[in-house]
A and B are shown apart, each in its own frame.
Chain A
Amino acid sequence: MTLPPPPAPAQPGEARLSARPPMPTAPPAAHAQPGEARFSARPPMPTAPPPAHAQPGGVLARGGPPMPTAPTAGPAGAVARRPLNPERYPRTHLPGAEAARGPQPPETRRNLAKIRREDLLRVAGAASAAVAGAFWLFTQVAPGRGGLMFALTAYALFLVFFVALISLDEDRVAIWDRVAGVVIHSAAIVLLAALAVVVVFTLLRGSEAFKHLNFWTEDMSMAGPLTPLTLGGMAHGAIGTLIMIAFALAISIPLGLTCAIFLAEFPSPFARLVRTVVEAMTALPSIICGLFIYATYVLAFGLDKSAFAASLAITIMILPIIVRSADVVLRLVPATLKEASLSTGASRWRTIWHVVLPTAKSGLTTAIVLGTARGIGETSPVLLTAGYTTFFNFNPFSGPMVSLPFATFTLVKSSEPTQVARGFGAAAVLMAMVFGLFWAARKLGGKGAGVLSPRGQRRAAAASARDASRFASRALRQAVDDFEDAQQQPGPGPLPASPGGAR
């Protein structure tokens, strides 16, 4: 019951088995080669596992057999005393089974990133030399190029100077390492900078239009191409977008999720066929969805272009996306959970409704939200099927209705700066919608099947501990009753009280 004494300086053979003391760090190889020796010069990390079995809970539970007296104080106390690291929280509380802690956590990666002073100095030196050199080139040698050209030239010069600087005091291996590091960093910077430019540029150009309040509340019915930005707005586009995506989701969420359940839960050759076709259809270019609805709904059936037609086109586009990602998420639900539910006698659909869907909830939400973001932003299905209007239209079944991306697309083709500004404003609002959806997806989803947040985990553990102590106190009461019964019974001899059997 006591904590183990610190392991004695053991024999070499035993040292592998016992909780190892941290390896004595090798003295840093001071006189090592500059290139490769960086790694050997790093003090080796102690890779001994943290002695998991030295935890108070484990030690406590290990000593005693599952006596009915122990758990009343045991489980609650153990939960309270456990370290507050959320990853170490067990989800469920099994009285007396704490020694079997479940699988060990997988290997985690250590962060080996290390910034060396010389590297920083080299980068700074090469960068300043490159900027100066490019400046000299652009003012003295070949004047009058654009900013993008300047950046490209400066980057090329930077690489050259950087390689030259390293090669002064490193060998070939180190040169490759540093240059690869710099190139990889710059690729990431370029991609992120491009994203920043796209977002900031759209917001800046759009702010001309959306800083006016009327942009958010009015439609374009009173505003021609020449009217100033203080009149007219894009509210009709926002309404149209919301109506279209609402109809598309009303069809594709039930259908897509049921289809995904079918694919994941009823494996059969037919399900494989459906999965193959769905995967093929994720490749369907969005404009072809629009063309299909245009050719059938509008031309063959002779119905008007309307928001409903557009939402049908969007449905065809996002349905395969939702089915596919939901199918992937559902297949990640552990089979043990399903079998546990089935083994309690639950029927198939109850298992899916009460076990599979709640377990996969966050992943399913992500699948739906990402499909929605895709559907909201897509212009081409709407372009062919919704028609263009400058009015509010709340009827999805008749009359043209415009969506934000389509309005952007139409407005920026105009040569009037106010129209272009309105187009940018609409794009900015659309982008804000997508960002909001995306934020929601990250907030709700992003976790694997059955993974709880730290708070949820604590809650689950507390509930489980409550249950365990309730069971334990009931068992204790039962045992006491049995014992009293045995005492009162004037039997021929002392009956063996068997609290274990009574449970």
Chain B
Amino acid sequence: MIKSAPPAPAPALGARQPRPPVGQPPGSQPPLGSQPPGSRSPGRQPESEPGPDRPRRLKAANGPADRVFRYGAHASGLIVLAIMTLVGVFLAIRGAEAISQAGGRFLTEQDWEPNSGRFGIAAVMFGTIAVALIAIAVALPLALGTATYISEYAPTGVRSFLVGVVDLMAAIPSVVYGLWGMFWLEGRLLPVAEWISAHFGWIPIFKVDRFDPQDPLATPTVFTASACLAGLVVAMMVAPIACSVMREVFAQAPVGEREGALALGASKWGMIRSVVYPFGKGGIIGGTMLGLGRALGETIAVYMVISPIFVINWEILSTGTNSVSSLIALHYGEASNFELSALMAAGLALFAVTMAVNFGAGIIIQRSRSGESS
């Protein structure tokens, strides 16, 4: 419980020789116990605080082994760059073929029939974003709560265990989450979806046209394989990712400010709200966006639980949604050359969205007060 307080401001105190305590004969060496930590070596010059370590630019003659190493390292960087650029450029070239064919309708067309020239990503992109947004809407409070719990409320002994569990959850394969959604969650979600639709049907997105709550014979099967189900499954996958980013940031919130807030009479929640959350704001936003990027690109778990349709479906509780990656997984097999180009164009659009989200997350985390070290 007793922690070691920060050392007293060393240079200011160390510069001055402390007076010998009362009772000591003058001239004798003051007892060591009464010396401030800063004045350990009285003979040393009181010099100014050295700055942080910075790599210096070093110039030296390189031996042959060193030169080989340098070239090798540069070559590997070049190879990685080449591979990554190749993937991007290949996607872009093949995708551009299909996009130039479809023109501006690529963004507005809902159907997917590349051979007849009518194809667009409106429906699949809508489905992808809808599923990702639902996932984030569920995952954000869960992740925020869990991260707060781990960094603020959990007993010290179980903290590292919980950190391990959450990180482990982020490593569970997506197919396992898909199984869970398909066999466990779907049946249990039906009554909830039914209830929401019956009582909150006046909110447009919760309305399900094909379901009449007054009809005693109404079947809940209209609620299967919905965007909501896919969103919940993806939420379970992305919550741990967002949570671990947030937790790391919360743990860095300065102890002095926390204790200052408590000393001013803040309650624990008041301290969290006025110190920890403002400090970790960058981490909260960045973690959420990282989760969003993962949710957008998720394939298998979504593909396992949805029933694909090629219409924009605003009713998130009713059957049928779609996503770009499911579209690719569904159609790649029997695709002609041009259809493959169309799939790549869809993939390119998805990649553009996820990349924008990830870069945004990175920038937000970097710029925040807590993110300088990460």
On A, residues with C-beta under 8 Å from B are 3-8, 10-11, 14, 16-19, 35-36, 38-40, 45-54, 58-59, 62, 99-100, 104-105, 107-113, 145-149, 152, 173-174, 176-177, 180-181, 183-188, 190-192, 194-195, 197-199, 201-202, 205, 254-256, 258-259, 261-263, 265-266, 270-271, 273-274, 277-289, 291-292, 294-296, 299, 316, 319-320, 323, 328, 334-336, 338-339, 342, 347-349, 352, 370, 373-374, 376-380, 383-384, 405, 408-409, 412, 420, 423-424, 427, 430-431, 434-435, 437-438, 442
Contacts and interface: CB of A to CB of B under 8 A. Distances in A.
Contact of A266 (B70, B273, B324): B70
A370 B244 CA distance: 14
Given A191-B146, A335-B53, A258 B180 contact: no
B53 A336 contact: yes
Nearest to A206: B179
Contacts of A319: 80, 83-84
Contact of A39 (B69, B162, B175, B262): B262
A427 B325 contact: no
Contacts of B218: none
Given A146-B188, A378-B174, A190 B77 contact: no
Contacts of A266: 70, 73-74, 77
B87 A434 contact: no
Contact of B350 (A46, A285, A339): A285
Interface string B183-201: 1100111111001000000
B171 A279 contact: no
A277 B81 contact: yes
Interface stretch (B2-10, B106-114, B117-125, B311-319): B2-10
Contacts of A110: 1-3
Interface of B: 1-8, 13, 18-19, 21-23, 31-37, 40-41, 53-56, 58, 60, 62-63, 65-66, 68-70, 72-74, 76-81, 83-85, 87-88, 90-91, 94, 141-146, 148-150, 152-156, 162, 164-169, 171-180, 182-184, 187-192, 195, 236, 239-240, 243, 254-256, 258, 262-263, 265-270, 272-273, 293, 296-300, 304, 324-325, 328-329, 332, 337, 340, 343-344, 347, 350-351, 354-355, 357-359, 362, 374
Contact of B255 (A107, A263, A270): A107
A5 B255 CA distance: 33
B355 A283 contact: yes
A184 B276 CA distance: 14
Contacts of A104: 4, 6-7, 37
A412 B32 CA distance: 74
Contacts of B296: 285
Contacts of A287: 297, 299, 325, 328-329, 347
A394 B146 CA distance: 44
A272 to B, nearest CB: 11
B268 to A, nearest CB: 6
Contact of A273 (B81, B177, B343): B81
Nearest to A108: B3
Nearest to B80: A259
Contact of A323 (B65, B80, B266): B80
Given A19-B33, A423-B179, A176 B269 contact: yes
A296 B90 contact: yes
B146 A39 contact: no
B77 A438 contact: no
24 contacts: A10-B21, A14-B21, A17-B34, A39-B266, A58-B32, A100-B40, A110-B2, A181-B269, A185-B153, A205-B183, A254-B76, A262-B76, A283-B351, A283-B358, A299-B337, A316-B83, A316-B87, A349-B66, A349-B69, A378-B173, A379-B299, A405-B300, A408-B179, A430-B176
B168 A438 contact: yes
Contacts of B188: 146-148
A279 B362 contact: yes
B172 A434 contact: yes
Given A52-B37, A111-B156, A283 B297 contact: yes
Given A39-B265, A53-B40, A348-B66, 7 more contacts: A4-B31, A18-B33, A180-B273, A191-B143, A199-B172, A259-B80, A266-B77
A255 B2 contact: no
Nearest to A385: B332
A288 B91 contact: yes
Given A181-B269, A377-B175, A335 B55 contact: yes
Nearest to A63: B32
Contacts of B81: 273-274, 277-278
A222 B146 CA distance: 47
A280 B150 contact: no
B174 A377 contact: yes
A188 B145 contact: yes
B63 A347 contact: yes
A198 B181 CA distance: 9
B32 A54 contact: yes
A75 to B, nearest CB: 19
B281 to A, nearest CB: 17
B214 to A, nearest CB: 15
Contact of A349 (B54, B65, B337, B351): B65
Contacts of B54: 335
A191 B179 contact: no
Contact of B62 (A48, A109, A263, A347): A347
B332 A291 contact: yes
B70 A348 contact: yes
B340 A14 contact: no
A3 B31 CA distance: 8
Contacts of A285: 296-299, 324-325, 347, 350-351, 354
Contact of A111 (B1, B80, B162): B1
Given A99-B41, A287-B328, A294-B332, A271 B77 contact: yes
Contacts of B195: 145, 149
Given A274-B81, A285-B351, A294-B332, A370 B171 contact: yes
Contacts of B66: 347-349
Contacts of A263: 77
A431 B178 CA distance: 13
A277 B7 contact: no
Contact of B155 (A113, A295, A347): A113
A100 B79 CA distance: 47
B137 to A, nearest CB: 14
A148 B223 CA distance: 15
A195 B169 contact: yes
A373 B153 CA distance: 30
A345 B144 CA distance: 50
A342 B351 contact: no
Closest 3 CB pairs of A and B: A187-B145, A377-B173, A4-B33
A137 to B, nearest CB: 12
B170 to A, nearest CB: 9
A281 to B, nearest CB: 5
A173 B62 CA distance: 67
A186 B84 CA distance: 43
A32 to B, nearest CB: 11
B40 A255 contact: no
A49 B6 CA distance: 8
B175 A186 contact: no
Contacts of B78: 274
A198 B176 contact: yes
A386 B70 CA distance: 37
A8 B23 contact: yes
Contacts of A376: 173
Contacts of B184: 197, 201
